[in-house]
């Protein structure tokens, strides 16, 4: 075959191929390689190799990269789209010297110490970036206090919560409404002020049921002034007196068996004095004095003794009143009676309490009539047992065993 014929034959083959493939180019938009049913513009069922590809600069690339979807489709995606699809805590990071951790849930990302010292904080430096700086300065209110403050400045909270002050991570002092602090008693038997929910309360907290409020007193050499509670629910206050002495007023007791105690010390002769103030004369008037006698167990009580040591166990400068009553029928005498007038028109009986239970008690009995008055057994002036009162006045006192006539 001549060269002309060969050329003509090749031309016919090319035209035939174009005519054969033309319908596919006109009616199909997808091309498949090693697949008869392409689903994309170019569907390659196999690997792809690209040689001598040109690289693009940063300004050209922008924020897009090539990614493959699950079905193999190649698309552009931004970095933010990729990060949003990463599950939290599984995106490791390689950090520089100013960061620690890998960014995983087991090794979270943090800031290294950067050779910072105590009380330093991170500060911005235009040359070094974030770097340790001293946070305590001449303008820091934690060191030097606030200056040029306004009347509207305050330390606290603007909502209804407890404002706490702590030390050693233990709450020492709380401020707030009574109900907010959990101190409100809503029961019908609640006493004032526990039943006032909106009271402004300063609450001193403690540990193991104990708390105290102490005051500075430079002249108190041993006993410093203090309010305190104890683990039994008792409350009291102790104060210094004249440098070396002290006084105390406390509740005491356990398990619903309480008492109120007044104490003065410590040489034994310090008095407890009750006095009043006269405004017109600008003077104090002593009303009553209770005073010990040194370190022994004796005590004296004086009323209107004007600052003097009482001369007896009980000294009264003034009048004394005692109970006096009148009866007309049989009666059992009690602690509320002292002088008893017997004005009976018939025979009656007076019953005395047990002498052993009321040692020292005195009764003064006076008959106003001649009618018979029977009485519990007593020893008369002749130390003989008697059970009938004589006419006139009979004064009886218990010696702890018998009732004795002492007049």
Q: Where are the alpha helices (DSSP H) in 97-197?
A: 141-144
Query: Do 98 and 114 contact (CB within 8 A), yes or no?
Result: yes
- Percent of the chain with pLDDT strictly greater than 90: 52
The pLDDT-based confidence of 111 (bands split at 50, 70, 90) is confident
Query: Do 107 and 96 contact (CB within 8 A), yes or no?
Result: no
186: left (phi over 0), alpha (psi -120 to 50) or beta: alpha
pTM for the model stands at 0.58
Tokens of 219: 């002249």
Sequence-distant (≥ 6) Cβ neighbours of residue 338 within 8 angstroms: 322, 323, 324, 362, 363, 364
Judgement on whether residues 335 and 303 belong to the same structural domain of the protein: no
Query: Do 123 and 136 contact (CB within 8 A), yes or no?
Result: no
The pLDDT-based confidence of 261 (bands split at 50, 70, 90) is very high
Q: Which of 73-87, 109-123, 342-356 has the lowest mean pLDDT?
A: 73-87
Residue at 393 is within a domain: yes
Judgement on whether residues 352 and 395 belong to the same structural domain of the protein: yes
More confident residue, 404 or 266: 404
- As beta bridge partners, residue 332 has 351
Where in the sequence is the domain holding 315, given as residue range(s)? 267-319
Residue at 254 is within a domain: no
Residue at 398 is within a domain: yes
3-state SS of 63-80 is: CEEEEECCCCCEEEEEHH
Q: What is the DSSP letter of 207?
A: B
4: pLDDT strictly greater than 50:
no
Residue at 225 is within a domain: no
Q: Per the structure, how many domains does the chain have?
A: 2
Q: Is 19 helix (H, G, I), strand (E, B) or coil?
A: helix
Give 324-336 pLDDT, tens digit per residue: 999 999 999 999 9
Judgement on whether residues 282 and 342 belong to the same structural domain of the protein: no
Residue at 397 is within a domain: yes
Sequence-distant (≥ 6) Cβ neighbours of residue 372 within 8 angstroms: 347, 348, 388
Closest to 207 measured CA to CA, from 153, 259, 170 = 170
Closest to 248 measured CA to CA, from 261, 235, 233 = 261
Closest to 240 measured CA to CA, from 220, 261, 260 = 220
Judgement on whether residues 388 and 334 belong to the same structural domain of the protein: yes
Q: Which of 303, 319, 335 is the last residue of a domain?
A: 319
- As beta bridge partners, residue 320 has none
Q: Which of 276, 301, 319 is the last residue of a domain?
A: 319
* Residue 375: burial class (beta carbons within 10 Å; 0-12, 13-18, 19+): buried
The pLDDT-based confidence of 349 (bands split at 50, 70, 90) is very high
Give 143-175 pLDDT, tens digit per residue: 777 777 888 888 899 999 999 999 989 999 999
Judgement on whether residues 329 and 392 belong to the same structural domain of the protein: yes
Judgement on whether residues 332 and 306 belong to the same structural domain of the protein: no
Residue at 339 is within a domain: yes
Residues 390, 370: Cα–Cα separation, whole Å: 9
Judgement on whether residues 309 and 294 belong to the same structural domain of the protein: yes
Judgement on whether residues 287 and 341 belong to the same structural domain of the protein: no
Judgement on whether residues 334 and 302 belong to the same structural domain of the protein: no
Q: Which of 285, 319, 353 is the last residue of a domain?
A: 319
Closest to 99 measured CA to CA, from 110, 90, 108 = 110
Give 75-110 pLDDT, tens digit per residue: 767 766 766 666 665 555 555 556 677 778 788 877
- Give the CATH number, domain containing residue 376: 2.60.120
Residue at 42 is within a domain: no
Q: Which of 81-85, 203-207, 343-347 has the lowest mean pLDDT?
A: 81-85
pLDDT of 15: 47
Query: Do 388 and 375 contact (CB within 8 A), yes or no?
Result: yes
Residue at 328 is within a domain: yes
Judgement on whether residues 292 and 360 belong to the same structural domain of the protein: no
Report, as an integer, the average pLDDT of 25-50: 72
pLDDT of 26: 47
pLDDT of 93: 54
Residues 212, 203: Cα–Cα separation, whole Å: 11
238: left (phi over 0), alpha (psi -120 to 50) or beta: beta
pLDDT of 244: 86
């Amino acid at each position: 075959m001549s060269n002309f014929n060969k050329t003509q034959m090749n031309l016919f083959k090319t035209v035939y191929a174009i005519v054969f493939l033309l319908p596919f180019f006109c009616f199909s938009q997808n091309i498949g390689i090693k697949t008869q049913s392409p689903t994309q513009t170019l569907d390659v069922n196999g690997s792809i190799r690209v040689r001598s590809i040109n690289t693009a600069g940063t300004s050209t690339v922008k924020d897009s990269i090539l990614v493959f979807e699950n079905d193999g489709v190649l698309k552009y995606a931004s970095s933010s789209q990729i990060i949003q699809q990463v599950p939290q805590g599984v995106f490791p990071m390689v950090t520089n010297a100013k960061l620690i951790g890998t960014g995983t849930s087991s090794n979270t990302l943090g800031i290294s110490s950067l050779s910072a010292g105590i009380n330093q904080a991170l500060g911005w430096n235009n040359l070094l970036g974030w770097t340790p700086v001293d946070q305590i300065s001449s303008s820091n209110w934690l060191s030097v206090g606030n200056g040029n403050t306004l009347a509207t400045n305050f330390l606290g909270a603007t909502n209804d919560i407890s404002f706490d002050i702590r030390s050693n991570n233990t709450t020492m002092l709380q401020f707030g409404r009574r109900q907010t602090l959990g101190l409100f008693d809503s029961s019908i038997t609640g006493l004032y002020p526990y039943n006032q929910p909106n009271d402004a309360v300063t609450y001193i907290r403690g540990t193991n049921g104990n708390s105290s409020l102490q005051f500075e007193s430079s002249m108190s050499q041993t006993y410093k002034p203090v309010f305190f509670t104890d683990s039994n629910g008792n409350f009291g206050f102790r104060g210094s007196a004249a440098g070396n002495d002290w006084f105390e007023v406390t509740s005491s007791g356990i398990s619903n068996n309480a008492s109120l105690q007044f104490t003065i010390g410590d040489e034994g002769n310090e008095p407890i004095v009750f006095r009043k103030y006269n405004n017109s004369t600008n003077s104090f008037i002593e009303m009553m004095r209770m005073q010990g006698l040194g370190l022994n167990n004796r005590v004296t009580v004086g009323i209107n003794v004007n600052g003097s040591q009482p001369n007896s166990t009980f000294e009264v400068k003034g009048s004394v009143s005692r109970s006096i009553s009148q009866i007309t029928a049989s009666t059992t005498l009690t602690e509320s009676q002292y002088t008893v007038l017997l004005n009976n028109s018939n025979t009656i009986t007076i019953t005395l309490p047990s002498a052993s239970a009321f040692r020292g008690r005195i009764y003064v009995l006076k008959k106003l009539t001649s009618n018979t008055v029977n009485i519990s057994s007593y020893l008369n002036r002749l130390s003989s047992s008697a059970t009938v009162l004589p006419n006139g006045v009979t004064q009886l006192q218990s010696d702890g065993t018998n009732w004795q006539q002492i007049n």
